[in-house]
Amino acid sequence: MSNTQTTKWTIDPTHAEVGFSVRHMMIATVRGRFGAVAGTVIIDEQNPKNSKVDATIDVRSVDTRQEMRDNHLRSPDFFDVEQFPNIHFVSKRIEGDPRNGEFRVVGDLTIRGVTHEVALKATLEGEGKDPWGNERAGFSASGKLNRTDFGLHWNQALETGGVLVSDEVKLTIDVEVVKQASVAEPVAA
């Protein structure tokens, strides 16, 4: 049996944001964000492709800078926060080498109790120590999803043709993680 060295990092909720954008009336783009993001990243030092991401978003933190729209997004028409208060992402695999800067994170995204695989194009933005001696790393990621795949079907037909909200949602993610500990874990040879 051999050992693998893993390092646990936690998402700094004060430096984490999941943004989204959708087409509105097919003529403009509406942007929003989720400000309450928590989770962990486990880095496998010997084989970064075995690293893991586990992140949870508090859906109540949705913010599109318009209170009535935010309340509608929290309602059963969309996210139904009373029944499904969180969005959850768990990685399944890492494609490419994160140490080279750009890579893909493929995992299961759960929204409204519905889970689908999504792929995020990710970038290691940098690493360094903060003024208090904590090791930090920054990551950005982007991807797309079809909201109807997750049960987000609400829409409204327009008199001029088309619909009020597009099905495609573009995601942008920016997170800073803080190193917690390194652990040697036994691995079967």
pLDDT digits (tens, 9 = 90+) for 137-146: 999 999 999 9
pLDDT of residue 88: 98
* Average pLDDT over every residue of 25-51: 87
Q: Write down the domain spans for the chain.
A: 2-187
- Give which of 12, 5, 59 is closest to 32, Cα–Cα: 59
Phi-psi region of 73 (alpha: psi -120 to 50; beta: other; left: phi over 0): alpha
Q: What is the CATH number of domain 2-187?
A: 2.40.128.110
- Give which of 113, 105, 66, 67 is closest to 88, Cα–Cα: 113
- Give which of 21, 17, 16 is closest to 145, Cα–Cα: 21
pLDDT band at 162 (very low <50, low <70, confident <90, very high): low
By the 8 A CB rule, do 8 and 53 touch? no
Buried b (16+ CB within 10 A) or exposed e, 35-54: bbbebebbbbeeebeebbbe
pLDDT of residue 102: 86
* Residue 175, token pair as written in the block: 């997170």
pLDDT in tens, 118-128: 999 999 999 99
The residues with which 121 forms a beta bridge, in sequence order, are 104, 142
- Measure the N-to-C terminal CA separation of the chain; round to a whole number of Å: 5
Pairing state between β 52-58 and 86-95: antiparallel
What is the pTM assigned to this prediction? 0.88
User: How many Cα atoms sit within 13 Å of 48 on the Cβ side?
Assistant: 12
